Amino acid sequence: MLADLEELVTCESYSADHAAVARSARVVADQGSRLLGAHPQTLVVNGVTHVQWTFGTPRVLLLGHHDTVWPIGSLATHPWSVEQGIARGPGVFDMKAGLVQMFHALASLPSLDGVCVLVTGDEEVGSDTSRDLIEDLARRCAATLVLEPSAPGGALKTGRKGVSLYDLTLHGRAAHSGLEPEKGINAATELAHQILALSRIADTVTTQTGPGTTVTPTLLSAGTANNTVPARADLSVDVRVPTTAAQEAVDQLVRTLRTEHPDARLHISGGPNRPPLDPDASHKLFVLADGIASRIGSGPLRQAAVGGASDGNYTAGVGCPTLDGLGAVGDGAHADHEHVVTAAMPDRARLLAHLVGAMQ
């Protein structure tokens, strides 16, 4: 398993680099073919490469991704290593160890009939090219098992917040900032007003629907020169919501934003991206997994609700029972201390194998 993990981690797969993602997809396809005894379909959608295996009529979907947030060259600063039972490297935890565990779990089964495996190449950037594929497969399956990394301590993820993404563009009017600033309309100042208004939206939605909603301004830019009133300013906003009602309430409030200056203009794009993964979508599968874990000596299992989203949000959103966080045990997704506890990998693979076997 560690040799296979090294093979995946040392093939860098930054989401924005489609050529790198294509190389990674070939490595994933070769590794999966060797362990599963079958060649996959390679699906390229708008330049992004996904890999899919289907055995018989699909009943259970195993879902993962091979792209990472780590730019090409990250191996130079975060090299692959295994020391004292800890594996490190770009994407080792999120989520290449989960892919290795999945392949080895499936390889241990006497039959793969009814199993569909989908490994996508754009999960880290919102799954724009894979969402339709994910949802279509989920609608045809009785359950989805997601190989994203576990929550702290190995807990399975039985709830995830939904995600909405917005881009705000403020249009003002340029003017010389020293000679005649009064003739300009400062888009940066307008942007500041929008940031303050956005900070009040989370409080309003919390009052209406309950706690857990966050509205976070992230990327922002304005202006072209130090001596010019900015004619344009741009802002990206990340929204996390615990319920569909909260997601809808945020969207309605964002659409009501207005400029302070009567001659400034505001353009809003984006909206809900991933629906929440409601714990009800995971309950029966968690109970099944917990019973299996106790029977094979790796239980009891713990569960957690988390703020991060995954493609499991999509599968649950179309009504497919979904259990997430079945991948690696470790910590540090997207961070310098990203790592995997190697001793947990065989146990997690064994649990997954028994879980898939119970649903075939």
| Structural contact between residues 298 and 175, judged by C-beta atoms closer than 8 angstroms | no
pLDDT score for 317: 94
Contacts 24+ apart (CB under 8 A), 216-221: 216/240, 220/191, 220/195
Distance of alpha carbon 7 from alpha carbon 151, whole angstroms = 25
- When divided into structural domains, the chain yields a total of 2
| β-strand pairing of 60-65 with 115-120 | parallel
In this structure, the answer to whether residues 211 and 336 fall within a common structural domain is no
| Region for residue 3 given its phi and psi (left: phi exceeds 0; alpha: psi -120 to 50; beta: otherwise) | alpha
pLDDT score for 299: 85
Distance of alpha carbon 307 from alpha carbon 262, whole angstroms = 37
In this structure, the answer to whether residues 120 and 183 fall within a common structural domain is no
CATH number for the domain spanning 270: value is 3.30.70.360
In which domain, by residue range, is 242 found?
162-274
SS3 106: helix
In this structure, the answer to whether residues 67 and 133 fall within a common structural domain is yes
In this structure, the answer to whether residues 177 and 71 fall within a common structural domain is no
In this structure, the answer to whether residues 146 and 289 fall within a common structural domain is yes
Amino acid identity, position 91: G
CATH number for the domain spanning 65: value is 3.40.630.10
In this structure, the answer to whether residues 280 and 270 fall within a common structural domain is no
Average pLDDT across the chain, whole number? 97
In this structure, the answer to whether residues 43 and 90 fall within a common structural domain is yes
In this structure, the answer to whether residues 270 and 312 fall within a common structural domain is no
Taking only the tens place, the pLDDT of each residue in 104-150 is 999 999 999 999 999 999 999 999 999 999 999 999 999 999 999 99
Angle at 352 between CA 351 and CA 354, to 5 degrees: 65
Of the three residues 244, 274, 304, the one that is the final residue of a domain is 274
Taking only the tens place, the pLDDT of each residue in 351-360 is 999 999 999 8
In sequence order, what are the beta bridge partners of 360?
none
Of the three residues 238, 255, 274, the one that is the final residue of a domain is 274
Residue 110, number of CB atoms within 10 A of its CB: 7
Amino acid identity, position 317: G
How far is CA 134 from each of CA 120, 320, 349, rounded to the nearest angstrom? Answer: 9, 11, 23
- Above 90 in pLDDT, residue 229? yes
- Above 90 in pLDDT, residue 350? yes
SS3 305: strand
pLDDT score for 349: 98
Of the three residues 243, 274, 305, the one that is the final residue of a domain is 274
In this structure, the answer to whether residues 122 and 132 fall within a common structural domain is yes
In this structure, the answer to whether residues 78 and 198 fall within a common structural domain is no
In this structure, the answer to whether residues 240 and 305 fall within a common structural domain is no
In this structure, the answer to whether residues 55 and 183 fall within a common structural domain is no
